[in-house]
Chain A
Amino acid sequence: ELKVEQNPLFLSMQEGKNYTIYCNYSTTSDRLYWYRQDPGKSLESLFVLLSNGAVKQEGRLMASLDTKARLSTLHITAAVHDLSATYFCAVGAQKLVFGQGTRLTINP
């Protein structure tokens, strides 16, 4: 059974700092997704990573995938308050298995 684990689950950081969220998964998968969820809102697609070594960047967020280590990272550069949200990684094709989510709070 595929399991997806994120860490940390809670992250409070200051504006301007860098940090990384980790996503480990238990069985081989050829695609990994990152989503963002604001409180009480829907999930917004951020990245889809399709192959080993894939790296994608959008603004202050950069995601990477290491399929051999079954690990994806979401790196936040020079955080700003607007990035405060819960971030989920998800693995799979049709049935996505989600991590627990990382609640990120960025303080001024």
Chain B
Amino acid sequence: DSGVTQTPKHLITATGQRVTLRCSPRSGDLSVYWYQQSLDQGLQFLIQYYNGEERAKGNILERFSAQQFPDLHSELNLSSLELGDSALYFCASSVGIKGGGETQYFGPGTRLLVL
């Protein structure tokens, strides 16, 4: 158990809908990262937040957005969902002393299925 928690574990929804994935980092970690894992794209970095501020951005679609709250939990919002958004979404956290760059510890993931 990495200490990173994610909810929900599974999510089934329809195309066009909007969902919110939630992540709580390990105690004391300031950085939160979001990744998408799919069969065709592999593991892809989406976005990083450090102490509430966006720090790095990857291949995140405009339909997706994220934020990190004062209590350091983070939410990933996915809207106008398409079939291709079906994937496993991981949150990771790190200490973030330097704003990132340390070992990232991954949560259990949220499996999203868009029908």
Contacts and interface: CB of A to CB of B under 8 A. Distances in A.
Interface stretch (A17-25, A38-46, A54-62, A66-74): A38-46
A101 B48 CA distance: 22
Nearest to B108: A42
Interface centre among A42, A44, A96 (most CB of B within 10 A): A42
Given A95-B56, A101-B42, A42 B2 contact: yes
Contacts of A95: 33, 45, 48, 56, 58
Interface stretch (B14-22, B70-78, B79-87, B95-103): B95-103
Given A33-B103, A43-B90, A94 B43 contact: no
A88 B104 CA distance: 13
B interface: dominant SS: strand
A94 B106 contact: no
A94 B103 contact: no
B107 A94 contact: no
Interface in A26-47: 31, 33, 35, 41-45
A94 B42 contact: no
A98 B58 CA distance: 13
A96 B42 contact: no
A48 interface: yes
A10 B76 CA distance: 32
B103 A42 contact: no
A52 interface: no
B105 interface: yes
Contacts of A31: 101
A96 B100 CA distance: 10
Q: Lowest 4 A-B CB distances belong to which pairs?
A: A94-B100, A93-B101, A98-B43, A94-B56
20 contacts: A33-B103, A41-B108, A42-B90, A43-B106, A44-B106, A45-B105, A45-B106, A93-B100, A93-B101, A94-B48, A94-B99, A94-B101, A95-B33, A95-B45, A95-B56, A95-B58, A96-B33, A96-B35, A98-B44, A101-B42
